[in-house]
A and B are shown apart, each in its own frame.
Chain A
Amino acid sequence: MSTPLLEIQDLHAEIDGKEILKGISLTINKGQVHALMGPNGSGKSTLSNALLGHPKYKITQGKILFNGQDITDWKTDARARAGIFLGFQYPIAVSGVSVANFVRTAMKSCAGANFQAKEFRKEFKAAMSALGVEESFATRYVNDGFSGGEKKRLEILQMTMLKPTLAILDETDSGLDIDALKTVSEGINRLRGPELGILLITHYQRLLNYILPDVVHVFVDGKIVRSGGKELALELEAKGYAPYEKTAVTA
């Protein structure tokens, strides 16, 4: 068996002294799509931020291995350059910086001397058109005055261009109407392949109608309380998180 793409070992993390992640273990192999489903406030976003090394979250115990390498102490940018991508739940506006300039700068950071301006322009145009955004999108300021759908399209546009080997998509479906959800899901599905691992973090099952997961995890109160196949998502849809929340309290 080859080295897992991502291996989270008994991860504990806290913010301002309060423990949010209470011992998470999770293994994602290349080519797999895992869905992590949980109610609001369960710590889903903490997990995604901690995986990218957000300085606000302190890892108190456990390890994160990426392609077998311990990256627990790595800086955010080093993780990104290694091939990890985070699709933000709430993408941040950067006023005065155009989408094209931002994506180009990010690609230069990741590709270094291998960056090819001409190739970039071609690919960027194609990626925009595949996501159904107009060319004027490129000259707008990053997430500045964007609608919910535009923000999520920009996240997937970046993912398309940066070609990560692990994509963590945090509530990518939130704030999307049904058409935008379709476009964004198609964008993600196009990127699926034997080299890419995806961790879909979501509250609702509806995204999983478009992106079929290989594994589903139920995440409650900072812990994975159950894992299973895609049928687990449907069960959650029918029964909600309540049974697990009780388990978590009594445990």
Chain B
Amino acid sequence: MLTHPSQKTALDQFNALPWPEKTSEEWRRSDLAGLIAADNGDGAFSVRWDAVPPEMIHAGVILTDLTTALKQFPGLVAEYLFKTGTPRGLTKFALQNQALTRQGLFCYIPDGVHVDLPMHSWIEPAGNGSPLFPRVLVVVGEGASATLIDERRSPADSTAMLCNEFTEVLLKADAKFSYIRLQRWNESARELFGHRAVLKRNAHYSHIQIGLGGEMSKANLETILSETGAKADLLGILFGSGKQHFDFNTLQAHEAPHTTSDLLYKSVLKDTAKSIYTGLIRIEKEAKQTDAYQDNRSLLLSQGAKADSIPRLEILTDDVQCKHGVAVGPVDEDQVFYLMSRGLPRAEAERLIVSGFFNSVLSRVPVEALREELAASVSQRI
């Protein structure tokens, strides 16, 4: 444990709370049993990052692992760790992570500091088979801006792995932050993944989920627009083959007026891969003149692939713009014929169609240099 005082409380709460019912709305489409850790975890993993330029360190930027951060900046970490509130979804697992986490990533951008180049970090299991409980904490100060690509990898020879991760993001007033999680676990990895971002006045958050690996990926991603003018772009790309199973739930919580959220998740599935998307837009009574959008599209490359999409709205006020859309379907055979008539073999034609399908998400990645890099990662996976 990190020996943080709130961890003892979290452990008590975790023990007091029963495991969810398999028949509950949250679990009826995904196998719960395979995600319950057999032990309380001593799973070792490494947290690494590319060195931050010296002038940024001089300006007070911190990118380091969580245990080192606790030693070097105990006051700072204590001020923000475990402070984004209890998530509405995967609560038991979030408490488990809070109680048991010993390591993770800490990223801190002081007020007014602009980190121009994208930062890069990654987490990789050491492979002793025990469950992992990584914790990521990001704090972006007032008027500060940064981009972080946070990768998940598995060593080539690694065996099955269970990971229960939780990420907290705090954007202070006028902060601007792009967080890209590039998930490339190996094919036998199973993960639970909680995320809670709190956006203060006029903060702008771009959150990009790229899910390429893992046998099972169950995520609950919450974005809280807590003060006026906050804005969130929530993007997702999921590519599944074999028996991969993605189950993503998102929450766009508008708690203040003049807030905007725009979500676009796209998945492509082949073989017998499956994706489930459930998403809630909740607009509180105070959140007048809010814009909220949610769009989920899936492309099925084989008959055995499946995608479910369940959007929900809870709007407690009027004077809002709110829209959601869903589309699921196979590859357009006319497109395939057109591309094949130019000499592309069927597999190549599908690859091009898929990369085009994802492009509407990738083209919204705010840093241009990153778009190609991410497109290459996705294309390699296809």
Contacts and interface: CB of A to CB of B under 8 A. Distances in A.
B358 A96 contact: yes
Contacts of A191: none
Contacts of B332: 92
Interface in B327-347: 332-335, 337-346
A15 to B, nearest CB: 14
B359 A80 contact: no
Interface string B303-346: 00000000000000000000000000000111101111111111
A96 B356 contact: yes
A14 B182 CA distance: 49
B357 A95 contact: yes
Interface in A131-163: 141, 158, 162
Interface string A65-81: 00000000001110111
B343 A92 contact: no
A76 B359 contact: no
Question: Which residue among B345, B346, B356 has the maximum number of chain A CB atoms within 10 Å of its CB?
Answer: B356
B42 to A, nearest CB: 45
A102 interface: yes
Given A54-B337, A88-B338, A109 B344 contact: yes
A102 B356 CA distance: 10
A97 B340 contact: no
Contacts of A240: none
B341 A102 contact: no
Majority secondary structure, B binding face: helix
A61 to B, nearest CB: 23
Interface in A175-228: none
Given A97-B353, A102-B352, A105-B348, A52 B341 contact: yes
Given A88-B338, A92-B338, A110 B343 contact: yes
Contacts of A95: 356-357, 359-360
Interface residues of B, number: 25
Given A76-B337, A88-B338, A106 B344 contact: yes
Contacts of A23: none
A85 B342 CA distance: 7
B355 interface: yes
| B334, B340, B341, B360, most chain A CB atoms within 10 A | B341
B352 A75 contact: no
Contact of B340 (A80, A85, A141): A80
Most buried by A among B332, B333, B342, B348: B342
Given A76-B337, A92-B334, A97 B342 contact: no
Given A92-B334, A105-B348, A109-B348, A97 B341 contact: no
A54 to B, nearest CB: 6
A121 B342 CA distance: 18
Contacts of B355: 96-97
A109 B345 contact: yes
Nearest to A93: B335
A94 interface: yes
B338 A94 contact: yes
A62 interface: no
B340 A86 contact: no
Contacts of B358: 96
A158 B349 CA distance: 16
B336 to A, nearest CB: 9
A80 B356 contact: no
A141 B356 contact: yes
A55 interface: yes
A1 B125 CA distance: 71
A172 to B, nearest CB: 15
A39 interface: no
A31 interface: no
B343 to A, nearest CB: 4
Given A55-B337, A76-B337, A97-B353, A109 B359 contact: no
Contact of B343 (A77, A96, A97, A141): A77
Interface string A30-71: 000000000000000000000010110000000000000000
A92 B335 contact: yes
A101 B372 CA distance: 13
Q: Which of A54, A81, A85, A97 has the most CB of B within 10 A?
A: A97
Contacts of A109: 342-345, 348
B338 A91 contact: yes
A41 to B, nearest CB: 20
B353 A162 contact: no
Contacts of B348: 105, 109
Interface in B350-373: 352-353, 355-360, 363
Given A97-B352, A97-B355, 10 more contacts: A76-B337, A77-B341, A77-B343, A81-B343, A95-B359, A96-B355, A97-B353, A106-B339, A106-B343, A162-B342
13 contacts: A75-B340, A77-B346, A79-B341, A80-B341, A80-B343, A95-B360, A96-B357, A105-B344, A106-B339, A109-B342, A109-B343, A158-B342, A162-B343
Q: When A and B form their complex, which 4 residue pairs have the shortest distance between CB atoms, in order from nearest?
A: A96-B356, A96-B359, A106-B342, A97-B356
